[in-house]
Amino acid sequence: MFEIIAIIAVVLAIAIAVILLLAASKPATFSVERTIDVKAPPEKIFPLIHDFHQWVSWSPYENKDPAMKRSYSGAESGKGAVYGWEGNGNVGAGRMEILEESVPSKILIKLDFFKPFEGHNTAEFTMLPQGDATHLSWVMRGPAPFISKLMQVFMNLDHMIGKDFEVGLANLKRLTEK
């Protein structure tokens, strides 16, 4: 019986060591990006992003918790505008603040998550005119602390977040191509 327990303990220790080594080999930062071409000028897309009050019409996170509590502070829109949220396990709690913008081509947002896990990232939207369309990009970047690296051993962060970005970009496309 002791031999079986010893074998199980050794196998378990090796499995944990492999997982920790895999996590340690992950990059120190992450980046998730999705793009879409929209048949609308940047001037039509930009206001939906730089005004957090407009996010309820397109953000993929707005429908994940119908009871989500939202707060707005700082500037009404643009640089200095702040949006806070607190919701269920699907949306957690956090805060966004527009740090800078170049009308109508770029918006940089400081993105702080408090729940379920703390994280401090940046989100950037770029709108580049291309003929009669706009190349719209949504990217999120940030540090990957060890706990994040450990989670990435078991789940694909790019796929998880990327799916939401694709939904949000498709919503922006639908709204602005009308």
Q: What is the model's pLDDT at position 20?
A: 86
Give the per-residue pLDDT at 50: 96
Kindly report, residue by residue over 13-38, the tens digit of the pLDDT.
999 999 988 888 898 989 999 999 99
Q: Which token pair is 147?
A: 């706990």
Q: How far is CA 143 from CA 44, 79, 97, 147, in A?
A: 32, 23, 18, 11
Residue 31: burial class (beta carbons within 10 Å; 0-12, 13-18, 19+):
middle
Q: What proportions of the chain, in percent to the nearest 5, are helix, strand and coil? A: 40, 35, 25
Residue (of 110, 106, 122, 138) closest to 42 by Cα position: 106
pLDDT tens for residues 115-167? 988 899 999 999 999 999 999 999 999 998 888 888 888 888 888 899 999 99
Q: Which tens digit of pLDDT belongs to each residue from 46-90? A: 999 999 999 999 999 988 898 999 999 999 999 999 999 999 988
Q: Which residue has the tokens 């994040």?
A: 148
Q: Could you tell me which of 114, 150, 159, 127 has the C-alpha nearest to residue 19?
A: 150
Which domains are seen in the chain, by residue range? 2-176 (3.30.530.20)
Report helix, strand or coil for 175. helix
Count CB-CB contacts under 10 A for residue 162: 16
Q: Which residue has the tokens 């950037």?
A: 124
